[in-house]
Structure 1
Amino acid sequence: MPFFSSQKKLLLKISTLSCCITLITGCAKSPPNTFTFTADLPPDFAYQAVAVYVPAKGETCTVPGERNTEVGYNMKWRESYTPDSEIAMYRTVSGCPLVIWKIDLEINSSYGKARGDFGGDFATVVIRNEVEDEYRSTFDETGKSAFHGQCQWLFRTSGKPRILRKILDCKAADAQGKPDQGHPFSAYTLDQLSGKTVKMKIKLADVERPAIGDTWVKVTNGWKRCMGDNFEDQYAFCFGNYKDFSTFRMVDGRVCTIYPGCTE
Structure 2
Amino acid sequence: MKRTLQSLMLGSCLALTQGCAATSNSFTFTADLPPDFAYVASVYYVPAKGQTCTVPRADNRVPQFNREWRTEYKPDAQIEIRRTRKGCELVIDYVELEINATYGKDWGDLGREYARVSVREELPEAFKGTFNAAGEGEFSGQCQWLFRTSGGLRRLVKILDCKKTDASGELLKTRPFAAYTLDELPGKTVKMKIKLADEERPYMKDTWVKVSGGWKRCMGESFEDQDAFCFGNYKDFSTFRMPGGRICTIYPGCTEDKELTP
Tell me the TM-score normalised to structure 2 length. 0.89
User: Structure 1 residue 177: deviation in Å?
Assistant: 3.1
> Is the deviation greater in 42-51 or in 87-96?
87-96
Amino acid at match of 2:47: P
Where does the alignment leave 5 or more consecutive residues of structure 2 unmatched? 15-21, 257-262
Contact 1:39/1:83, CA 8 A, preserved across alignment: yes
Matched residue of 1:70: which SS?
Answer: coil
Structure-to-structure mapping, 1:148-187, within 5 angstroms? 148-187=140-179
Q: Any residues of structure 2 matched to 1:121-200 within 5 Å, and which?
A: 121-200=113-192
Secondary structure at the aligned position of 1:191 is classed as helix
- Matched residues in 1 for 2:178 and 2:28: separation? 14
Q: Which contiguous aligned blocks of 4+ residues in structure 1 show a shift greater than 6 angstroms?
A: 17-22
Report 1:14-53 matches (<5 A): 31-53=23-45
Q: Which whole-Å deviations, capped at 9, do the CAs of 1:38-62 have from their partners, x for residues lacking one?
A: 0011111111110100111111111
Which residue of the partner structure matches residue 260 of structure 1? 252
Q: d(CA) in 2 for partners of 1:224 and 1:118?
A: 23
How large is the Cα RMSD of the aligned pairs? 2.1
Q: CA deviation at 1:26?
A: 5.2
Q: Structure 1: where are the runs of 5+ without partners?
A: 1-13
Could you tell me which of 107, 110, 117 is aligned with 2:102? 110
Partner of 1:76: 68
Residues 254 and 132 of structure 1: CA distance in aligned 2, closer, same or farther (over 3 Å): same
Residue type of the partner of 2:125? D
Question: Residue 72 of structure 2 aligns to which amino acid in structure 1?
Answer: S
Q: Is the 8 A contact 2:36 2:103 kept in 1?
A: no
Following superposition, the deviation at residue 68 of structure 1 comes to 3.1
Count how many residue pairs are aligned between Structure 1 and Structure 2.
249
Conserved 8 A contact 1:69-1:93: no
8 Å CA contact 1:177, 1:203 repeated in 2: no
User: For residue 199 of structure 2, what is the amino acid of its counterpart?
Assistant: V
Aligned-pair CA distance for 1:95: 2.6
Partner of 2:17 in structure 1? none
- Give, in angstroms, the shift of residue 120 of structure 1: 1.0
Q: Distance in 2 between matches of 1:138 and 1:21?
A: 32
Q: Taking structure 1 as reference, are residues 246 and 96 closer, same or farther at Cα in structure 2, changes over 3 Å only?
A: same
| CA distance, structure 1, for counterparts of residue 240 and residue 33 of structure 2 | 30
Structure 2 residue matching 1:99: 3-state secondary structure: strand
* Partners of 2:23 and 2:174 in 1: CA distance: 34
1:58 paired to 2:42 = no
CA contact (8 A) 1:36 1:84 kept: yes
For 2:110, give the aligned amino acid.
Answer: F
Give, in whole Å, the separation in 2 of the partners of 1:113 and 1:60. 50
**Aligned match for 1:95, one of 41, 62, 87:** 87
State the distance in 2 between where 1:84 and 1:98 align: 23
* TM-score, normalising length: structure 1: 0.89
Partners of 1:255 and 1:22 in 2: how far apart? 70
- Aligned equivalent of 2:220: 228
Does the CA contact (< 8 Å) of 1:54 and 1:69 recur in 2?
no
- Contact 2:144/2:196 (8 A) holds in 1: yes
- Residue of structure 2 in register with 1:207 after alignment: 199
